[in-house]
């Protein structure tokens, strides 16, 4: 059974992100896959796919229905995925067919991985597709127990002073401090919508039942403005940031000042991760923040 799946080298190397848990996950993958192929009566029908911490196997169910088996490390980001997919129930997102709570293993409807939004040449079309999908997803209130943007915001603000001390460039340091100040203004009203958090153009696939559907959410409860950043950063073009922001806030009918503050929050989150890992803030993130200055109307 160990020969049933191929663990890609890039996935095996992800232990650098998850340390011991990552090594244990990779070691257990062949047996884990075998167990769920047997338990759900599945047959592997194609080549495996993978992300940073998940392996996806194309399979057929016993009745011939195509699906995918997703095996992943269960962490604070991924543990809410089946809950969100069940609540969305296929409206704008891939359908959840089955789920094993202890391991986080999921059986999902199979979409067309060969038709990914990232492959479309018109970037503006992609931004609007993402905005329309988010409009569907954000109609759902987040359930109790979902990780919450308010907690994330408080943590970011607590970590900001130490991060600022590690940024030598005064202009970058000032911009990160401005992002934190913007988050502080809205932190007491973090929102209650069910957010995707990671809806970039590689997480949007075509399907027979819908032109485009979202996959791979890292859900949390919060303000829709916190969901805009991936579409601003995709195929990054500094000159296009304001157009994308305005187009998305129009489609989603968001207050632009508030959406800008929570987009600053995403920039702050990224800058904290970079700084805490000993790297300078990403220049594209800083440029997004610069370009959004003054976008209050």
Active site residues: 198
Contact between 147 and 222 under an 8 Å Cβ cutoff? The reply is no
Q: How many other β-carbons are positioned within 10 Å of the β-carbon of residue 282?
A: 16
Which tokens belong to 296? Answer: 């209050």
In degrees to the nearest 10, what's the CA dihedral of 111, 112, 118, 123?
Answer: -90
DSSP 8-state code for residue 73: -
Residue 225 CA to its chain's centroid (Å): 14
Q: How many other β-carbons are positioned within 10 Å of the β-carbon of residue 218?
A: 19
Query: In terms of Cα–Cα distance, which of 266, 253, 137, 254 is closest to 203?
Result: 137
Establish how many alpha carbons lie within 13 A of residue 51's alpha carbon, considering only the half-sphere containing its beta carbon.
14
**How close are the terminal C-alpha atoms of the chain, in Å?**
59
DSSP 8-state code for residue 76: T
């Amino acid at each position: 059974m160990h020969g049933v799946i191929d663990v890609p080298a890039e996935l095996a190397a992800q232990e650098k992100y998850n340390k011991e848990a990552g090594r244990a996950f990779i070691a257990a993958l062949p047996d884990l896959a075998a167990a769920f192929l047997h338990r759900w009566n599945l047959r592997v029908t194609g080549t495996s796919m993978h992300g940073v911490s998940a392996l996806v196997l194309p399979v057929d169910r016993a009745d011939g229905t195509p699906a995918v088996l997703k095996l992943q490390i269960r962490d604070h980001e991924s543990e809410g995925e089946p809950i969100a997919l069940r609540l969305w129930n296929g409206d704008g997102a891939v359908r959840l067919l089955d789920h094993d709570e202890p391991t986080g293993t999921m059986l999902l409807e199979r979409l067309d991985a060969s038709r990914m939004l990232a492959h479309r040449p018109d970037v503006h079309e992609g931004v609007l597709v993402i905005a329309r999908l988010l409009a569907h997803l954000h109609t759902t209130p987040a359930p109790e127990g979902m990780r919450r943007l308010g907690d994330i915001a408080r943590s970011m603000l607590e970590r900001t002073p130490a991060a600022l001390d590690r940024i030598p460039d005064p202009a970058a340091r000032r911009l990160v401090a401005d992002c934190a100040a913007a988050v502080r203004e809205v932190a007491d009203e973090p929102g209650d919508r069910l957010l995707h958090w990671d809806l970039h153009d590689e997480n949007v696939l075509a399907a027979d039942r819908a032109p485009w559907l979202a996959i791979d959410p890292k859900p949390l409860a919060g303000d829709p403005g916190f969901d805009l950043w991936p579409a601003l950063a995709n195929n990054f073009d500094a000159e296009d940031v304001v157009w994308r922001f305005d187009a998305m806030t129009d489609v989603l009918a968001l207050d632009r000042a508030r959406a800008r503050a929570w987009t600053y929050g995403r920039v702050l989150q990224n800058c904290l991760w970079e700084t805490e890992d000993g790297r300078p803030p990403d220049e594209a993130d800083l440029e997004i923040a610069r370009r959004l200055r003054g976008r209050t109307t």
